[in-house]
Each structure stands twice: as structure tokens, then as C-alpha cells.
Amino acid sequence: MSKLTCRTHVGILTRLLVISCSLIVLVAAQDKGRESKSVLFVYGGWEGHEPEKCRDLFVPWLKDEGFTVTASPSLDSYLDEDLMNSVDLIIQVYTMSSISSEQEKMLLTAVRERGVAVVGWHGGLADAFRNNPDYQFMIGGQWVAHPGGTVEYEVNITDHEDPITRGLSDFTVNSEQYYMHVDPANEVLAETTFSGEGAYWIKGATMPVVWKKKYGKGRIFYTSLGHSVKVFEIPEAMAIVKRGILWAVGELE
Ligand SMILES: [Zn+2]
């Protein structure tokens, strides 16, 4: 065999290998039905809620699930029209920050008009922008207190039929128990009851811990769990977030 023929054969084999590999990747993505699903993961704000650790915990899982992920440390991503027109889901971990009116408008419009989904937890979604009631109207709640600081509390699953909480048992968390102002239109999947520790007058009050809702065409999923990534070591807490993400993009009905 001449050197030239040999090189040609190697070239053809390489090309076949590349095509085969591409097909395998395509088939794998199609198996999960997510070849076109794209996620924008926006992280930042107050460091106490471990935005980078949240990114490092969830972005690899999202990629394993076949999502295309853009991770961004800036709310300016909401101003990127091409990006906002291409994403299916926004996950936001951005506590106690401020959002410009243009950033807020682009975010809310993408959700309400285009049907982009929004998922988040704890303060990263529901204590992100204290001065923005339009944003809070979209999320369905705003943190106002966590009486007693870090306390042991029970999360009670209230909807055992919903695919997000189906099969899960009640569980105990040692963390902040969020007291929130919430939207009565939320579809509540789990709740917690306050003992009165740290604020005796709210003893016996029940509060949503997990909810889903709509905002225009978009789906919103939220849980108040997740003060630190350690909370997601509780299998039920992790399952709730992962299932919430899949529900938000229409893959868990
Ligand atoms: Zn917290």
C-alpha cells in the first residue's frame, strides 16, 4: 500500500469515527429529549448562600442530564437578547442584590411572554431583590424572617400526587426556617409549622416550603430549602430541586 493510500484510509476512518461519535452524542441527547433545552444559571449576590458552591453542585448534573448550560455571575445576562431568546430555563442563586429596571423587564418579559421557566431556592430566588414587587409577584413569595436562626424543623409533604413530591416522606432539616409573605395562587407541595421559637406569636403557623406556579406562559418552581449546599445532602431536598427543574422544562408531568 502506498503512503498516500494509507493516509487516505486513515483520513476516511477518522472521519467515520467522528461521524459515529457525533451520532452517539446526538442519540444520547435525543434519548433524554433535551437536545434543544438550554439553561442559564445565574449566580452571585450574598456569599453566605454559597452561590459558587451551588453552581458547582448543579451545573455538572444539568450537563449530565443533557442540558446545554450557560453559567453567568452577572445579572447583565438578562440584557443579552440572543441569550434570553434561546434559553428554556433560568436558575438563579442571587441573594440580597439589586436588579436594574431594564434587567428586570427583560427577565419578566422572557418568562411571561416567551414561557421561559424559572427555578430557584431559599434567598437566591425569594430574597433576591427586596425593592422589586413585580419580580416578587412572579416568584410567588418574599422572605421576611427566619425566627430562631438555625433551628431543627420538619418539612411536611402536603401533595403526595404531584410528580415533584410523589413518594417522598416528611423529613427534618437543621437550617433556617423561612417565614415568608406568599402568593395565595401558589400550588403548595410541602409546608412547615413554626414552634414559636424566636417569635412566640407565630407558634402553630404553617408556611409553604415548596411551591410551583405560573407567571404568564412561564413555569416557576421554588423551595425555601437550601441555606447552604449541605442541605442538599438530604436526599429528599435534592430530589425536590431536581424534580422541580425537570417539571419546569415540561419533562415531569
Ligand atoms: Zn439563608
Domains of the chain: which residue ranges?
36-248
Q: What is the pLDDT of residue 28?
A: 44
pLDDT of residue 34: 58
How crowded is residue 150: how many other Cβ atoms within 10 Å of its Cβ? 13
Note down pLDDT in tens along the chain; length 253 residues. 444 444 445 444 444 444 444 444 444 444 555 567 999 999 999 999 999 999 999 999 999 999 999 999 999 999 999 999 999 999 999 999 999 999 999 999 999 999 999 999 999 999 999 999 999 999 999 999 999 999 999 999 999 999 999 999 999 999 999 999 999 999 999 999 999 999 999 999 999 999 999 999 999 999 999 999 999 999 999 999 999 999 999 999 9
Mention every residue, 6+ apart, whose C-beta is less than 8 A from residue 53. Answer: 228, 229
d(CA 164, CA 9) in angstroms, rounded, equals 52
Rounded to whole angstroms, the Cα distance separating 21 from 107 reads 37
CATH of 36-248, one of 3.40.50.880, 3.40.50.10260, 3.40.718.10, 1.10.3720.10: 3.40.50.880
Are the C-beta atoms of residues 222 and 234 closer than 8 Å to each other? no
CA of 152 relative to ligand 1 center, distance in Å: 14
Query: Contact 242/146 with Cβ under 8 angstroms?
Result: no
Quote the ligand 1 centre to 231 CA distance (angstroms): 11
Task: Determine the distance separating the centroid of ligand 1 and the alpha carbon of 123, expressed in angstroms.
Answer: 6
For the entire predicted model, the pTM comes to 0.87
Cβ–Cβ < 8 Å for 223, 119: no
- pLDDT computed for residue 36 by the predictor: 78
Task: Compute the distance from residue 199 Cα to the ligand 1 centre, in Å.
Answer: 18
